[in-house]
Amino acid sequence: MEFIDGKWKKKESPWEELTGDRLIDREAVVEGAVHSIRKMGEVAFLILRRREGLFQTVYENGQVEMPLSELKEAMTVRVRGLLCKEERAPHKRELRIRGIEILSSPAEPLPLAIDKWKLDTSLEAKLNYRPIALRNVKERAKFKIEEALVRAFRDFLYSQGFAEIHTPKIGARGAEGGANVFKLSYFHKPAVLAQSPQFYKQMMVGVFDRVFETGPVFRAEKHNTKRHLNEYTSLDFEMGYIDGFEEIMAMETGYLRYAMELLKNDYEQELSILQVQLPDVSRIPAVRFDQAKKLAAEKYGRSIRNPYDLEPEEEALIGRYFKEEYNADFVFITHYPSKKRPFYAMDDPEDKSCTLSFDLLFRGLEVTTGGQRIHDYHMLMEKIAARGMSGEGMEQYLDTFKHGMPPHGGLGIGMERLAMQLLGEENVREVCLFPRDLNHLEP
């Protein structure tokens, strides 16, 4: 009988030792993928790619049994050798090779020059060769930044007493109406994919007071723009016992502060690879919807065409306005018109034509929608009736309100959009591992 105790002695030297001082001028072992081979006469540099970064190893003629000609890019290898200081190498270290073990060998040469610092190819080519293109060090760094954004969301909310939930993605009906949902057959019953966890997270406020979920959402929108995906990762929270919808914005600001700290402290290497400047999130301006429209229209001489909605160009101008006037990268736009918000949005008691809701713009792009929800059963039923809706298919959601709910609200953040703006990308597909849009269903 064998027992597994959770410990494992790796053959390779730990990264901290490879980049530390203890093993200098001693033998060490490195594993990695051959990222590039540069021949320089008597020696050749074999740059290995590992999850921690690139690592330089040196092949010196006469020191290694295996001929250099047997080595190829995209092999994975285990290399044994002498660890030496070398100021010009990454991490100021190199390994002078004494032995090489080939772990795997590619069948064909790489279709892209992934060892270039910037992958010099079109987005379309990057998406067609996605699993290969992402091996480029700059490409993959984007997704570590995204990891930090999601990780910070969870860790901050745990610290604020939120419970994590997992809600179903297959349901009997869409949370926000029948349009733009993907339909499927669920054991011969009509079903849809969730556009958001909205109804579920509200119902769970009655159970846990504060809940969050990080997961996929599905939108069957026929948009083909640089900022839309048909499947994306949504960072959702919902909180009860709020004193006002401003408390939700305060919670989001707290998250953003936490996320920037985490990035600064734990993702320094990726920030440096991508040359990202973190925005100041110590305070975020909040301005009413109608006022924001007016400010941008006046300063940039653009007439207001639609008083009920923000056009993408208008969002960009509002972003520019707050950058120029307040040096702010983020701005909360509050009090959206009621007719453009879903039925469950809480109207402003002082002006029923607008809601106690907000969007967050980041460098001129909407990255969050949130607000206070109606918690009173009768008020909810009146609003449903006033909109000519029936409540059919929402029975369990509505019943929850019959049996008491605290004042509450929440928000949804588009993970990819937040990352896109932080990284200054032009297209949201750049920060989605495997985008789903009108043209992409594979890989």
Hey, which residues between 20 and 79 contact a copy of itself (CB under 8 A)?
31, 33, 50-52, 74-76
Candidate list 24, 184, 278, 304; residue touching a copy of itself; CB under 8 A = 184
Distance CA 443, CA 427 (A): 18
Binding of a copy of itself by 353 (CB under 8 A): no
Candidate list 37, 43, 82, 250; residue touching a copy of itself; CB under 8 A = 250
Candidate list 218, 237, 321, 362; residue touching a copy of itself; CB under 8 A = 218
Candidate list 335, 401, 421, 425; residue touching a copy of itself; CB under 8 A = 401
In the complex, what is the shortest distance from the CB of residue 9 to a copy of itself, in angstroms, rounded to a whole number?
9
In the complex, what is the shortest distance from the CB of residue 63 to a copy of itself, in angstroms, rounded to a whole number?
24
Given the complex with a copy of itself, which of 84 and 174 has the nearer CB atom?
174
Binding of a copy of itself by 100 (CB under 8 A): no
335: left (phi over 0), alpha (psi -120 to 50) or beta: left
Give residues 322-351 in contact with a copy of itself (rule: CB under 8 A).
326, 332
Give residues 124-143 in contact with a copy of itself (rule: CB under 8 A).
130-132, 134-135, 140, 143
Element (H, E) at 54: strand 53-60
Cβ neighbors of 162 (< 8 A, separation 6 or more) are 208, 210, 211, 212, 237, 239
User: Which span sits near a copy of itself by CB under 8 A: 40-48, 89-97, 211-219, 382-390?
Assistant: 211-219
Given the complex with a copy of itself, which of 43 and 250 has the nearer CB atom?
250
Binding of a copy of itself by 264 (CB under 8 A): no
Binding of a copy of itself by 110 (CB under 8 A): yes
Candidate list 89, 175, 333, 415; residue touching a copy of itself; CB under 8 A = 415
**425 backbone dihedrals φ, ψ, rounded to 5°:** -80, 150
User: Which span sits near a copy of itself by CB under 8 A: 165-173, 296-304, 343-351, 383-391?
Assistant: 165-173
In the complex, what is the shortest distance from the CB of residue 238 to a copy of itself, in angstroms, rounded to a whole number?
12
Binding of a copy of itself by 436 (CB under 8 A): yes
Q: In 356-429, which ranges are E strands?
A: 357-362, 365-373, 408-414
In Å, how far are 31, 32, 102, 104 from 76, measured between CA atoms? 7, 6, 6, 5
Handedness of CA 344, 345, 348, 353 (dihedral sign): negative
User: Which span sits near a copy of itself by CB under 8 A: 7-15, 56-64, 335-343, 365-373?
Assistant: 7-15
Nearest to 405 by CA among 201, 160, 202: 202
Candidate list 98, 138, 154, 299; residue touching a copy of itself; CB under 8 A = 154
Give residues 278-317 in contact with a copy of itself (rule: CB under 8 A).
281-287
**338 backbone dihedrals φ, ψ, rounded to 5°:** -60, -40
User: Which span sits near a copy of itself by CB under 8 A: 11-19, 60-68, 89-97, 296-304?
Assistant: 11-19
What value, to the nearest 5°, has the Cα angle with vertex 53 and ends 52 and 59? 120
Whether the CB-CB separation of 226 and 426 falls below 8 Å is answered with yes
Given the complex with a copy of itself, which of 316 and 433 has the nearer CB atom?
433
Distance CA 441, CA 443 (A): 7
Binding of a copy of itself by 253 (CB under 8 A): yes
Binding of a copy of itself by 215 (CB under 8 A): yes
Whether the CB-CB separation of 271 and 387 falls below 8 Å is answered with no
Given the complex with a copy of itself, which of 84 and 380 has the nearer CB atom?
380
Candidate list 44, 123, 191, 316; residue touching a copy of itself; CB under 8 A = 191
Nearest to 210 by CA among 414, 367, 407, 413: 407
Distance CA 159, CA 262 (A): 14
In the complex, what is the shortest distance from the CB of residue 41 to a copy of itself, in angstroms, rounded to a whole number?
27
Element (H, E) at 268: helix 268-274
Q: Which residue has the tokens 């159970």?
A: 207
DSSP codes, 170-229: EESS-TT-STT--EEEETTEEEEE-S-SHHHHHHHHHHHSEEEEEEEEE------STT--
In the complex, what is the shortest distance from the CB of residue 86 to a copy of itself, in angstroms, rounded to a whole number?
23
User: Which span sits near a copy of itself by CB under 8 A: 56-64, 81-89, 313-321, 376-384?
Assistant: 376-384
